[in-house]
Structure 1
Amino acid sequence: ERRGLLAENQLGAVRGVQGAKEQALLNIALNKEYVNNLKATWIDVKKAYDSIDHAYLTQCIENLNLPDWILKFIKVIISKWKIDISVGPEKIMSKKIDRGILQGDSLSPLLFVLCMDPLSRKLNEKYTKVTVQTDAESIFTNHLLFIDDLKLLAKDSSTLSTMTDEAKEFSKVIGLEINKEKSATNDKCCEDTATLLEGVSVYKYLGIIEDSRGIPTRSSFEEVQSKLISRLYDAVRAVLVKNKIHLRPGCKERLYLPRTELGRGLHSVELRSEHMLLQLLDCLMKSKEISTIRAAILKVENNNKTHLALIKGFLKVNYRLVEEVTKKSLEEAQLAKLYNEIEKRKLHSKLYNARKNELVSVTVFCYIQDRNVFWGADGVCQHCGKSGKTVDHLATRCEKMLGHDYTRRHNEVVRCLHLLLLNRYKFKSSKRIRSHSVQEILDNEYAEIRVDTRIKTAVKIRNNRPEIFILDKKKNKITLIEVGITSQDSLQIVETEKLRKYDLLANELGLIYKCSVEIIPYVMTWDGIVTKYHKSHLKRLEIPMNVEAYIQSIVLKKTVEIIFFDRRRGLESGLNAEESWERASMAPFISQGGTTLEEPTNNINKESDLKEETVLVKEVEENI
């Protein structure tokens, strides 16, 4: 670009421009300036890349006065172009490319636009141009060119005819052929080269549908607004529902929140278009003083009060913004609008209440977080007969489920941590979680590990039965690990209790073993929410992220089993039970990573009835 090797008409493969968008806007600006009365020919070339003559390509490069080493490099590259055709591992054919430009790399478009540049320069030198007057100066042009998409513009038929003949002759010389069926014109003088647009006929240039007068058809805008966007949203949600990533009564706004904000990370077409228009307007405004093309585009856009010109005012009103609209302020306003919609829903808003607490972060996602499992049906818990039948109650709060469902979920977490520790301290080298059973006391030259056993001390201490006790003999250090699965309301309380529960025991152990003692809580909610301190706890326990993700998957899966089993035998009993269960059954989806009533610490040596997902098991086995 610095050497001016390309004419300004070519906006393809050029850095620092908006490419097809800028060319399309200039096209619209020119037509509006001339009240859509310009004569035009749209030229399409048959297999443009595949037809360039190599002798012509080499001549174009030599005429650029490039350094010898660059010229030599390009010539050698061209001479070595070939394609290999293989069937399985066997190569059946090798063909040298004697004509055309090999595609698939960043050099090919540059070579092609260099081949088209002589046509631009010839058209600019010989033929009358149309103009757009800006505040400072005017822009003059008689054609638009984006790679091989060429549009010729003229005020009268004779000029358009001679320009079309010039383009036709040039194409023939360099080995290109104009495709008459896919080319178009709005003047009869060129109908021997291109198809004449008559009546309701239209032509699509750079994605913009134009009629014979170069006017973008209103139907194309209405179709995008009223039909295509709606159909796109429906299609996306249908795919998500089919693959059990989203439920029909689920929170739609959550689809368009970033993953760090509890969302699915998808982009809304409407929200994204607002960003694109704002960025495009800012780009045009910043460089209007140095680019006559952008100045001309802005002038016409402002005169016609288009959506692009008014986008900042629209965003200010739509999102009630007071200050200047920027990319950051727009992102914040869009997020706020999505959250406002979520807060209007009683069930969906519960998950997002955690955002109001600065100590809480969210690390995993699954269907059940929407808390829309029972489809709004009222009822009483069949276990305790006291509380309402809600997801939160069944997941952690029911007293009658403490001794079995919650215990199995709790023990699965302990089992995973136990296997990790056994491998770390060389008690075993097995990585098979499925067959692992927990032993209460293990001892070797590296460490002593106890699970759910009473620790004898000189002074009687009430809390003397930690979840996991580790005596590291090499580091002369004791670690007490406490596991807890709870609800959002109790998260901070439970983590603090787990952290302070064994303070007296830790002091006694320090005196007995004459070593340092640390207490590390491993606490998360049933739906994957953890405190800000959880990350530091993971680091101290040296738990790999894949193991952490697997543990979270066990917690979520156990919770799903608890709730959906209860749903199936309760609300869904009847003739359509099987159908409803099939519709509601779902597996949690895990992202990167993370009691209620006090979690019991019953005997861990019970075989779990959980059938782990094979893929997750293999992943965690590789990381233990």
Structure 2
Amino acid sequence: MDPLSKRLNSMFPKVQIPLSDQKSYSTNHLLFIDDLKILAEKEETLQIITTETKRFFSIIRLEMNIEKSATNSLISINDAVLMNNNDCYKYLGIIEDKTSKPTKANWDLITKKIKKRIDMLCKTNLNGTNLMRAINEYAMSLLNYYIGLLDIEPEFFKKLSTKFRQIFNITWNSFYNLLVKKDYILTEKNLGRGLASAEYKSETMLLKLKLQFESTRKVYLRRDAILKIQSEGKTHFSTIEKFISEKYSLEGNLIEQLEDAQRSKLINEIKTRFHHKKLIVGLENELVSPKNSSMWIHKGNNSARQEGKLCFLQDGNIFF
């Protein structure tokens, strides 16, 4: 498909995104493997690009699936399904409206996908430690695709964490009910469960992505164009550095400080709870070994339900 991409860019008019008085980014299509999205400012341009694409397909004996193709132009109704005002189209896993803007249905889609995987994992015979690892690697990893691709506000990730905790409590007969949701996120060696935090994960990924785009925007014009559009839209991605600086009161190199700042904020939030702050005070005692005290969590072979019972007993000893 690369020859087609080069041919379209060299032969036909492109959509322009001005970056400065001297330069701009331009293209007339988006291509990922065999998924092609044609962009044009005029219907005549769209028609001739489509015609050339069909001719290329016929030469290489590649068929275009009309039923799975969509268009918002009447001129292309013979080559794709015409989208009406309320119709949506799924492009590379993202649900878009007829103007190619992601819809709110994506948030429900992400939540359902992750919940389905967590539900499935919770029904297995994995022990508590391996279950948390499986959730991190198989369920939470779904966020890797969407973070940065969709403009997702921080509140969405907080709601995700709450929903996950509800699933755990139902699955394990509420033996984890005494645990605040923050306890799931603490590492196993700190008497936590080692669950990846959707909130912290998104902050880290967005910050790294933003800094990477900033450092290479002069080399890759598409990244420069993305940064410009994001900035104009005042998206969460465009303001991630300011957001993190204000949230954690950080200055200087944010990447180096972020992980420690997140951990400190988590511990400070746990300290605000009457009973659970005793856990943190105990961990800070020089006579206490958090690693040895939590050996049964990260080295033991306990089922999730058994682990819940033991946590109930352990927390009772700490709190009372």
> Within 2, Cα distance between the matches of 1:293 and 1:180?
29
Which residue is equivalent to 1:159?
45
The aligned runs of 1:593-604 (5 Å cut-off) are none
Q: 1:355 is matched by which residue type in structure 2? A: L
Cα distance in structure 1, aligned partners of 2:6 and 2:272: 61
After superposition, give the CA deviation of every residue in 1:77-100 in whole Å (9 maximum; x if it has no partner).
Answer: xxxxxxxxxxxxxxxxxxxxxxxx
Secondary structure in 2 aligned to 1:145? Answer: strand
Say whether 1:315 aligns with 2:244. yes
Tell me how far apart the structure 2 counterparts of residues 179 and 363 of structure 1 sit (CA, whole Å).
57
Q: Which residue of 2 aligns with 1:586?
A: 309
Q: What is the rounded CA distance, in whole Å, between the counterparts of 2:234 and 2:107 in structure 1?
A: 16
Report deviation, 1:327. Answer: 2.2
CA distance in structure 2 between the aligned counterparts of 1:228 and 1:549, rounded to whole angstroms: 30
How far off its partner does 1:221 sit?
5.7
Secondary structure of 1:295's counterpart equals: helix
Q: Equivalents in 2 of 1:123, 1:214: separation in Å?
A: 20
Pick aligned residue for 2:207 from 256, 278, 286: 278
Q: Which gives a bigger RCO, structure 1 or 2 (Cα 8 Å, sep 6+)? A: 2
CA distance in 1, matches of 2:290, 2:187: 12
| 1:306 equivalent in alignment to 2:29 | no
Residue identity opposite 1:210 in structure 2: E
Measure, in 2, the Cα distance between the counterparts of 1:585 and 1:138.
58
List aligned pairs for 1:74-153, cutoff 5 A. Answer: 116-135=1-20, 137-153=23-39
Secondary structure in 2 matching 1:264: coil
The one-letter code of the counterpart of 1:329 is: Q
- What's the CA shift string for 1:388-422, capped at 9, x where partnerless? xxxxxxxxxxxxxxxxxxxxxxxxxxxxxxxxxxx
CA distance in 2, matches of 1:314, 1:251: 25
Q: Distance in 2 between matches of 1:244 and 1:221?
A: 28
SS in 1 for 2:309: coil
Q: What letter corresponds to residue 269 of structure 1 in structure 2?
A: A
Query: Counterpart in 1 of 2:135?
Result: none
- Contact map agreement 1:316 1:325 (CA 8 A) in 2: no
Q: Write the deviation string for residues 11-47 of structure 1: whole angstroms up to 9, x where unpaired.
A: xxxxxxxxxxxxxxxxxxxxxxxxxxxxxxxxxxxxx
1: distance between equivalents of 2:227 and 2:277? Answer: 43
Structure-1 residue corresponding to 2:284: 356
- Say yes or no: does 1:184 pair with 2:113: no
Q: Kindly indicate whether residue 90 of structure 2 is the aligned counterpart of residue 204 of structure 1.
A: yes
Deviation sequence 1:142-189 (CA, Å, 0-9, x none): 111111221100110011112112222222332322111211111011
Q: Which protein is richer in strand relative to its size?
A: 1
Q: Indicate the SS of the match to 1:171.
A: helix
Which one of the candidate residues 224, 248, 252 is aligned to 2:177? Answer: 248
Contact persistence 1:256–1:263 (CA under 8 A): yes
> What TM-score, normalized to structure 1?
0.38
Cα distance in 2, alignment partners of residues 125 and 199 from structure 1: 33
Contact (CA 8 Å) 2:244, 2:250: kept in 1 or not? no
Match of 2:117 in 1: none
Tell me, yes or no, if the aligned pair for 1:184 and 1:203 is still in contact at 8 Å. yes
Q: 2:224 corresponds to which residue?
A: 295
Does the C-alpha gap of structure 1 residues 317 and 219 become closer, same or farther in structure 2, counting only changes over 3 Å? Answer: farther
Q: Distance in 2 between matches of 1:272 and 1:155?
A: 38
What are the Cα deviations for residues 467-488 of structure 1, in whole angstroms up to 9, with x where unaligned?
Answer: xxxxxxxxxxxxxxxxxxxxxx
Larger helix proportion of the pair: 2
Query: 2:267 maps to which residue?
Result: 339
Question: Is the Cα–Cα contact under 8 Å of residues 185 and 197 in structure 1 kept in the other structure?
Answer: yes
In structure 1, stretches of 5+ residues that fail to align are: 1-115, 365-527, 530-547, 557-581, 590-624
CA distance in 1, matches of 2:189, 2:291: 8
Cα separation, 1, equivalents of 2:308 and 2:240: 45
Distance change (3 Å), C-alpha of 1:587 and 1:360:
closer
Asked if residue 260 in structure 1 is aligned to residue 146 in structure 2, the reply is no
**What displacement does 1:549 show?**
6.1
Alignment of 1:472-491 (within 5 A): none
Work out the CA distance in 1 between the residues paired with 2:308 and 2:237.
46
Q: Identity over aligned residues, as a percent?
A: 37
1:182/1:297 CA distance change after superposition, 3 Å: same
Structure 1 distance, partners of 2:296, 2:278, is 23
Give the distance between the partners of 2:215 and 2:287, measured in 1 at CA: 41
> 1:351: how far off?
2.1
Question: Post-superposition shift, 1:284?
Answer: 0.3
Question: Structure 2: which amino acid aligns with 1:126?
Answer: M
Alpha-carbon RMSD? 3.3
Select the residue among 247, 254, 259 that pairs with 1:326. Answer: 254
- Aligned partners of 2:73 and 2:242: how far apart in 1? 40
**2:5 aligned counterpart, secondary structure:** helix
Q: Partner residue of 1:491?
A: none
Instruction: Count the aligned residue pairs.
Output: 264
The equivalent of 1:174 in structure 2 is 60
Aligned-pair distance for 1:586? 2.5
CA contact (8 A) 2:172 2:308 kept: no
Q: Which has the larger radius of gyration?
A: 1
2:162–2:181 CA contact under 8 A, matched in 1: no
